[in-house]
Structure 1
Amino acid sequence: MKDQKDGAQDKNGLLRNVHIFDSTLRDGAQGEGISFSVQDKLHIVRALDELGVAFIEAGNPGSNPKDLEFFEEVKKIELSNSHLVAFGSTRRKDIDASSDQNLRSLLAAGTEYVCIFGKTWDFHVTEILRSTLVENLAMIRDTVAFLVGEGRTVFYDAEHYFDAFRSNPGYAMETLRAAAEGGASALVLCDTNGGTLPDDIQLMTEKVVAEFGIPVGIHCHNDTGMAVASSILAVKGGAVQVQGTMLGFGERTGNANLSTIIANLELKMHIPCIPAGRVADLTPVARRIAEIANINLEGGMPFVGHNAFAHKAGMHIDAVTKNSTAYEHVPPDAVGNERTFLMSEVAGRSMIIEKIRKFDPNIKKDTPLAAQIVARVKELEHEGYQFEGAEGSFELLVRKNMGKYKPFFDLHYYKIIGEQPIDDVTCTAFAQVKIGVEGEMAITAGEGDGPVHALDCALRKGLERFYPGVRQIRLTDFKVRVLDSRSATAAKVRVLIESTDGEEVWTTVGVSSDLIEASWLALVDSFEYKLITDVEKRFRAYL
């Protein structure tokens, strides 16, 4: 990797001032609750390649059989924008690099690029590695030289660099010099403990950039909540490679969030880091990776979160409808996101009008239909509904009042049977549902871990016969709120259900004094929202 500070082209002819090095498959996999199958990893590689990140750290081929299998399978994928990187450590102490099995595994992975981490902190060398400072330097130099001699391009990750520099700056620099002497193509400074503040990151990065004539990178963890800021300041200090994970998940509090860093580099600092025009793919890629990782994308995540461009206060909404720059620092579509107006008692009529205009651009504030919908919203809110977090149900409400809604099925009945199992089994409830679709009846049954799960299974089974698209729906969150605790078990409850089809996420709401009925109302809205949006997509594609 050459110095990209002047906007040089990389091997694919792409103009980049900063190279993005994604470690979702390795560092990200160390996050709590994250477990990637081989197929998951392959899907993420494709998504990152489409976005155009320069390097994808694919894992440690010598660490486990799954990574070995992945490296074999990924060879079958032709990448357009990204380079795969195998990851591993320096040779073990007191042996030849050529005899180290982990290094042999790195070569067997067959990647052109290899990332090696080594000990930089003298404390780690003597107390953790139980080696000498001289031997550690030899381990770094020998490892890099061996891999370079085998035709690999080597990035050297200086583990704990910032702690090391504070402890023993002279030795920290010597470890980098050993890597450079071995032929490393980039020196990556790692804030492994995540405890260094951004201004110190910048100052220490500047020192390394001034000392060495090869590219410098940055790898930050988020233990102070400043990994993104530290990465940005490292770039200001001269770093030309930024490592992190696409959504920031990783060990402990996570890694630098690349979705935030990419957007800031491209849109705020005007520093190319992915191919031209690809920043608009950022939100779809982020959501796809969240789906593969089986996590809920945090709503408040900058740029790509569902609430990143959400407005609630009436004054804000009114201003944004007149000129979006009033309360938006970048246009939502610049990062592939969209503006959202949140329903609430403080939103005002302007917000509701804007939402209605999605279906009829000619609606005005004084249109009778607008007044009708506003009145209906207020009536339902009085009953306990809350549309702020239930955009799916609100869209269905608007369609019903505008005459642009036809139910996809009719409910004839549902039955729930619950039991206390004797054995340790997952199914504790059974549901039977009878529905009609254009005069044709379907009676289906489902079992599940609780009555709502059983209802979901039964309804899904019945609808799949008529609407195969419902197979894509997955419920991702379920919330219950008691609206009047003074009424005890007779109180009304509000149920919010979040669903996804792998591309879009929507939330629906139901309210009743019967928890099952409230859940059913939210569940039906969820399925109907998916079905009606599928119809509209097909119609737009036909046009």
Structure 2
Amino acid sequence: MTKALSIFDTTLRDGTQGEGISLSADDKLKIAKKLDDLGVHYIEGGIPGSNNKDIEFFKRIRDYKLNAKITAFGSTRRKDSLAEHDSNLARIIDSGVSVATLVGKSWDFHVHTALQTSLEENLAMIYDSIAFLKRKGLEVIFDAEHFFDGYKKNPEYALSVMRKAEEAGADWLVMCDTNGGTMPHEVHDIVTVLKGQATSARVGIHTHNDCELAVANSISAVRAGAEQIQGTMNGYGERCGNANLCSVIPNLQLKLGYQVLEEEQLQQLTNTARYISEIANVYMPVNQPYVGSAAFAHKGGIHVSAILRDSRTYEHIAPELVGNRQRVLVSELAGQSNILSKAQQMGIQIDPERESTREVIDRIKELEHEGYQFEGADASLELLLREANGDLKELFVFESFKMLVEKIAGRPVTSEAFVKLKIDGASIFTAAEGNGPVNALDNALRKALITYYPGLKDIHLSDYKVRVLDDKDATASKVRVLIESGSFGNSWSTVGVSGNVIEASWEALVDSLRYALLGQAKREDYVAISSDSRGLVNH
């Protein structure tokens, strides 16, 4: 029989202690809903009364009909006082949650140094606080802070803390590796002792990633008998972060056979991780296991050739199990297999025996040597492949553009672009202002095309990145521009490279519109906009 585990997500509390992470009440509510859809069992919302955002969150979350249990976090009562008079415990009760997460000291060093009280009083603080919350009808999860450090220094006292919490009625006893310095074999041995000798209660694990072992330590604890895993999405948290649930969950379910989420919920893991990354406005590493965009990406020609025969040759699981997808990258390392696979994904029929196939591979390698990067610019790559395959036709001929950027003392900078094109034999000349030279150029280009191609009005630029390729030439260095564009929920990326940032931006802008029109043509009438900026003029 498969053993079921409980997932406790603390992204909204512990995760927000990570550097650079700040969530509004609306953000927290959106994330809570997404976590509930994923199927986590507990969602720790924050500390009631600690700030206005958490106050608002706990007030508004009451109206949400979630399957997950919302928990409020707090610490044991103050020393030499009564639980009934403790404002922190009162705020937990007033928050309206059904579950309280209570943290208490389990390391004698912390009791003496941080709390500055006796070991006996610390035990009384733990017992009184848990018993009080239980009398109020709450489920109580006790987080034993610094449990592993405490056990290694004074095992008898650390275990007495857990026994006291269980005696007071705690529903869960959670061992915390708060400093993140414990090794996996230590975690396994200590959890085994706790489960075998000290308690019959359900136990959980809460680890930090200071030694890059939070995921491994969580798994070690589960294998020793822990039934609840606390962590955060994408591993957010203070210092080096918490256990990354995006790795913990699939490792336990797909590798070790534990029941964690429903199969269809597990397939939402990648989408959930990326959604939370966007809400938190935190860059998500492309090489993050399971959910990163590069987790199932293949670049080397030998690898690609193999996965085309059987993906198991270079993939440890099917990416669809966690909602991710296989990607084939095209770069200077690309071989014919990369090109054929990529073309197949794009619906392009390329004959491997044609000379043009070899030519386009050589062309891609040449462009990559010049600084282009097609791994993150699939739209530009598709245009190259379609052009090589003879699928494109000319929509306009680029003739020239000019830029005017003016700064007058005491006034903001103004930017104006002038674009000259030829469409159906007619010369088109337009001018437009913008918030900066690239925006002005974008506006002028659209202005010239919109009458002929009205579908462009729905296209918007959603991201713009500039990368200096070689800083030895200082401000004269070659740059790479990546532009992400979108329309009706779809998005695509294009690339341009030049020693002039405006020219590089122009290349990426032109490709963006070329691809937009290609998509709007539904692949029935393949179209292209000619641009001589990369020697890609169609005749």
TM superposition score category, shorter chain reference: 0.7 to 0.9
Mapped partners of 1:252, 1:407: distance in 2: 54
Alignment of 1:215-226 (within 5 A): 215-226=202-213
Aligned partner of 1:76 among 34, 49, 63: 63
Q: Say yes or no: does 1:168 pair with 2:167.
A: no
2:345 is paired with a residue of what secondary structure?
Answer: coil
Q: Give the partner amino acid of 1:58.
A: G
Q: Give the partner amino acid of 2:101.
A: C
Aligned partner of 1:156 among 142, 160, 176: 142
1:343 is paired with a residue of what secondary structure?
Answer: coil
Mapped partners of 2:431, 2:26: distance in 1: 36
Aligned partner of 1:270 among 257, 263, 283: 257
Question: What's the TM-score, normalizing by structure 2?
Answer: 0.86
Q: Which moved more, 1:225-234 or 1:413-422?
A: 413-422
Q: Is the 8 A contact 2:8 2:230 kept in 1?
A: yes
Mapped partners of 1:118, 1:331: distance in 2: 42
Mapped partners of 2:260, 2:46: distance in 1: 22
Mapped partners of 1:421, 1:247: distance in 2: 47
**In the alignment, what sits opposite 1:430?**
415
Mapped partners of 1:435, 1:264: distance in 2: 57
Q: Say yes or no: does 1:106 pair with 2:87.
A: no
1:156 is paired with a residue of what secondary structure?
Answer: strand
Alignment of 1:474-493 (within 5 A): 474-475=462-463, 477-482=465-470, 485=472, 492-493=478-479
Aligned partner of 1:125 among 99, 108, 111: 111
Q: Give the partner amino acid of 2:37.
A: E
Quote the offset at 1:77 in angstroms.
1.5
Q: From the superposition, tell whether residues 496 and 207 of structure 1 become closer, same or farther in structure 2 (CA, over 3 Å).
A: same
Aligned partner of 1:310 among 293, 297, 308: 297
**In the alignment, what sits opposite 2:534?**
none
Q: Give the partner amino acid of 1:199.
A: H
Which deviations, in whole Å up to 9, do the C-alpha atoms of 1:89-145 show, x marking residues without a partner? 111112211111111111111111111101111111111111111111111111111
Quote the offset at 1:398 in angstroms.
2.4
**In the alignment, what sits opposite 2:166?**
180
**In the alignment, what sits opposite 2:403?**
415
Which deviations, in whole Å up to 9, do the C-alpha atoms of 1:315-355 show, x marking residues without a partner? 11111111111111011111111112222222211101110
Question: What's the TM-score, normalizing by structure 1?
Answer: 0.85
Which deviations, in whole Å up to 9, do the C-alpha atoms of 1:34-54 show, x marking residues without a partner? 110111111101111111111
Q: Give the partner amino acid of 2:273.
A: A
Which deviations, in whole Å up to 9, do the C-alpha atoms of 1:408-440 show, x marking residues without a partner? 9998846351648769xxx75635476999999
Q: Is the 8 A contact 1:23 1:57 kept in 2?
A: yes
Mapped partners of 1:433, 1:113: distance in 2: 63
Mapped partners of 1:84, 1:34: distance in 2: 21
Q: Say yes or no: does 1:510 pair with 2:496.
A: yes
Mapped partners of 1:499, 1:296: distance in 2: 18
Quote the offset at 1:444 in angstroms.
4.5
**In the alignment, what sits opposite 1:332?**
319
Q: From the superposition, tell whether residues 171 and 384 of structure 1 become closer, same or farther in structure 2 (CA, over 3 Å).
A: closer
Q: Say yes or no: does 1:242 pair with 2:229.
A: yes
1:234 is paired with a residue of what secondary structure?
Answer: helix
Q: Is the 8 A contact 1:480 1:496 kept in 2?
A: no
Mapped partners of 1:336, 1:408: distance in 2: 38
Quote the offset at 1:476 in angstroms.
6.8
Alignment of 1:430-469 (within 5 A): 430-432=415-417, 444-447=432-435, 451-452=437-438
Q: Is the 8 A contact 2:334 2:361 kept in 1?
A: no
2:261 is paired with a residue of what secondary structure?
Answer: coil
Q: Is the 8 A contact 1:421 1:428 kept in 2?
A: no
Q: Is the 8 A contact 1:482 1:494 kept in 2?
A: no
Which deviations, in whole Å up to 9, do the C-alpha atoms of 1:16-67 show, x marking residues without a partner? 7111111111111111111101111111011111111111111111211110
Alignment of 1:9-24 (within 5 A): 17-24=4-11
Number of residue pairs aligned between Structure 1 and Structure 2: 515
1:357 is paired with a residue of what secondary structure?
Answer: helix
**In the alignment, what sits opposite 1:46?**
33
Q: Give the partner amino acid of 1:482.
A: D
Q: Which moved more, 1:339-348 or 1:86-95?
A: 339-348
Quote the offset at 1:406 in angstroms.
7.5
Mapped partners of 2:179, 2:118: distance in 1: 22
Q: Which moved more, 1:352-361 or 1:261-270?
A: 352-361
Q: Give the partner amino acid of 2:308.
A: T
Q: Is the 8 A contact 1:266 1:279 kept in 2?
A: no
Mapped partners of 1:535, 1:130: distance in 2: 72
Q: Give the partner amino acid of 1:121.
A: W
Q: From the superposition, tell whether residues 241 and 480 of structure 1 become closer, same or farther in structure 2 (CA, over 3 Å).
A: same
Aligned partner of 2:353 among 366, 371, 385: 366
Mapped partners of 1:167, 1:207: distance in 2: 15
1:386 is paired with a residue of what secondary structure?
Answer: coil
Mapped partners of 2:189, 2:446: distance in 1: 58
Over aligned residues, Cα RMSD in angstroms? 3.4
Quote the offset at 1:279 in angstroms.
1.2
Q: From the superposition, tell whether residues 175 and 330 of structure 1 become closer, same or farther in structure 2 (CA, over 3 Å).
A: same
Quote the offset at 1:273 in angstroms.
0.8
2:60 is paired with a residue of what secondary structure?
Answer: helix
Quote the offset at 1:504 in angstroms.
7.5
Mapped partners of 1:96, 1:514: distance in 2: 70
Q: From the superposition, tell whether residues 328 and 142 of structure 1 become closer, same or farther in structure 2 (CA, over 3 Å).
A: same
